[in-house]
Amino acid sequence: MDLGIRDRVAAVAASSRGLGRAAALSLAREGCRVAICGRREDVLGQTEAELAQVAGGADRVLAIPMDVVAEPERFVEETAQHFGALHVLVPNAGGPSPGGPLDFDADGYRDAIEANCVASIRMAQAAVPFMRAEGFGRICFIASMSVKQPVPFLALSNTARAGLAAFAKTLATEVAPDGITVNMALPGTHDTDRIRELGGGAAAVSDIPVGRLGDPADFGEVVAFLCSAQASFVTGTNVLVDGGRFPGLL
């Protein structure tokens, strides 16, 4: 299926590896011009080279070495300046430290909310004027299945992601008349460095009905669809990509 976003400009944050990288690759395969960012220049350079092959040339990829949590607006603005427009935004940032609800002080919670909620809000706020100017926009936040079901040992993530979900739902209503959709993609357990660091590799498979960890590409393809022309009537929703792991109805 042609997703109808060829030559659109997409900015995917924290995308040198993991699920952000997977989303960038999927968008590049659909013909988007893609901007990525990351703190490690060596890893970012490797991803940039791979994206250039998929996207059809180095001129269709922009790699910005930066800490997107510290300067979220700059990532959006440099992307739009470089390509002359911005149509798709995938806000993302690395997950916070694991731990229970009593393991962190107020500063720990503030830092997590800044990284995994406020930075994404700031990216979205910076992107909306560019999207309004184009009459087309897709914002797809990368969050976590903890939006649906808090994870006991991820208290910081649970708290920050819930706040972002509330913002996304509110923003979706605000910008829908402008041709802009706002959704959240909620990954379950995928085969990424983050999951391995948390000790959730093969041992977690027993909790996944499809019987395997998610391939990051599985997640990237869902993000690409939510950013597609065909998804113009999908907004304000949270889409689980978890192999059936979430047990609830809603």
Q: Assess if residue 59 is contained within a domain.
A: yes
Q: Give the three-class secondary structure for 153.
A: coil
Q: Assess if residue 3 is contained within a domain.
A: no
Q: Assess if residue 131 is contained within a domain.
A: yes
Q: Assess if residue 193 is contained within a domain.
A: yes
Query: What is the predicted pLDDT for the residue at 65?
Result: 98
Q: Assess if residue 248 is contained within a domain.
A: no
Q: Assess if residue 1 is contained within a domain.
A: no
Q: Which residue has the tokens 């430290």?
A: 97
C-beta separation of 195 from 94 below 8 A: no
Q: Give the three-class secondary structure for 70.
A: coil
pTM of the model: 0.95
Q: Render each residue's pLDDT in the chain as its tens digit; 250 residues.
A: 799 999 999 999 999 999 999 999 999 999 999 999 999 999 999 999 999 999 999 999 999 999 999 999 999 999 999 999 999 999 999 889 999 999 999 999 999 999 999 999 999 999 999 999 999 999 999 999 999 999 989 999 999 999 999 999 999 999 999 999 999 999 988 877 766 666 655 557 878 898 888 899 999 999 999 999 999 999 999 999 998 898 888 8
Query: What is the predicted pLDDT for the residue at 248?
Result: 87
Query: What is the predicted pLDDT for the residue at 200?
Result: 57
State which residues form the domain around 154.
9-241
Output b/e per residue, 33-52; b: 16+ Cβ within 10 A. Answer: bbbbbbeeeeebeebbeebb
In this structure, what CATH number is given to the domain that contains residue 215?
3.40.50.720
CB hemisphere CA count around 250 (13 angstroms): 0
Helix/strand/coil percent split, the chain, to 5: 50, 15, 35
Main-chain dihedrals φ then ψ at residue 28, nearest 5 degrees: -65, -40
End-to-end CA distance of the chain: 28
Q: How far is CA 159 from CA 141, 166, 171, 205, in A?
A: 16, 11, 19, 25
Query: What is the predicted pLDDT for the residue at 125?
Result: 98
Q: Assess if residue 18 is contained within a domain.
A: yes
> Domain total for the chain?
1
Q: Assess if residue 199 is contained within a domain.
A: yes
C-beta separation of 224 from 27 below 8 A: yes
Query: What is the predicted pLDDT for the residue at 246?
Result: 87
